[in-house]
Amino acid sequence: MCQSYQTPPFSPSTMNDEPLALLADGMLGRLAKWLRLLGYDTDYDNAATDPELAHRARAEGRVLLTRDRELAARRGLRTLLIQSEVLEEQVREVQDALGPPPHPPLSRCPVCNVALETVPAAGVADRVPPYVLKTQTEFRHCPGCGRIYWSGSHLQMMRNQMEKFTTGGPADE
Ligand SMILES: [Zn+2]
């Protein structure tokens, strides 16, 4: 197919001063969750149609992540075609193409992408199990869904998984 107009090459560093923001298509739910944990602002809506995704990416200045070649080729849209079906490789594709996360790891809710707020232990005393309250000092609250996060148990597992991502995983050495 011959296109008479060329979309200017996308350059995240020179595009604008806004922090990088992403929008994952319906097939990339797991990737979206991990990108949030890593510190990427990643919107995700598995009910949105292609035109809706395109409109939203354009309106909110988000880079659209998709495995759909047609959608990725749309003009006037910043897109990243995700090639791999393997989650860890997908994360690496995003990092390689768009650079490191603009926000600190574990600063966003993996469920709803809202920035987490730090809350004192006293503020969550009635909302977390007593043993957690005894062993943890730092709590984060999601203003979106109300979930409480702390840096124990499951969060530690996520950290380990993230280190695997960022260091390239169990290298084939
Ligand atoms: Zn949330």
Q: Name the residues around ion ligand 1, CB cutoff 5 A.
A: 109, 111-112, 142, 144-145
Cα(43) to centroid(ligand 1), Å: 12
Q: What percent of the chain has pLDDT over 70?
A: 80
In this structure, the chain runs to a length of: 173
Cα(44) to centroid(ligand 1), Å: 13
Indicate whether 19 pLDDT > 70: yes
**Per the domain annotation, does 135 fall within a domain?**
yes
As a whole number, mean pLDDT of residues 119-142 equals 88
Cα(159) to centroid(ligand 1), Å: 18
pLDDT at residue 152 in the model: 67
pLDDT at residue 13 in the model: 43
> Domain total for the chain?
2
Cα(151) to centroid(ligand 1), Å: 16
Indicate whether 155 pLDDT > 70: no
Q: pLDDT tier at 133 (50, 70, 90 boundaries)? A: confident
> How far, in Å, are 23, 26, 31, 42, 138 from residue 92 at the CA level?
16, 19, 11, 15, 29
Report the C-alpha gap between 141 and 76 in whole angstroms.
37
Q: 50, 67, 98 — which closes off a domain?
A: 98
Cα(141) to centroid(ligand 1), Å: 8
Owning domain of residue 160: 117-166
As a whole number, mean pLDDT of residues 1-28 equals 66
Cα(134) to centroid(ligand 1), Å: 24
Contact 66, 72 (CB under 8 A): yes
Report the C-alpha gap between 116 and 114 in whole angstroms.
6
Indicate whether 167 pLDDT > 70: no
**Per the domain annotation, does 124 fall within a domain?**
yes
Cα(111) to centroid(ligand 1), Å: 5
Q: pLDDT tier at 4 (50, 70, 90 boundaries)? A: very low
Q: 44, 67, 98 — which closes off a domain?
A: 98
Q: Which of 4-8, 80-84, 165-169 has the lowest mean pLDDT?
A: 4-8
Q: Which of 13-17, 71-75, 99-103, 169-173 has the lowest mean pLDDT?
A: 169-173
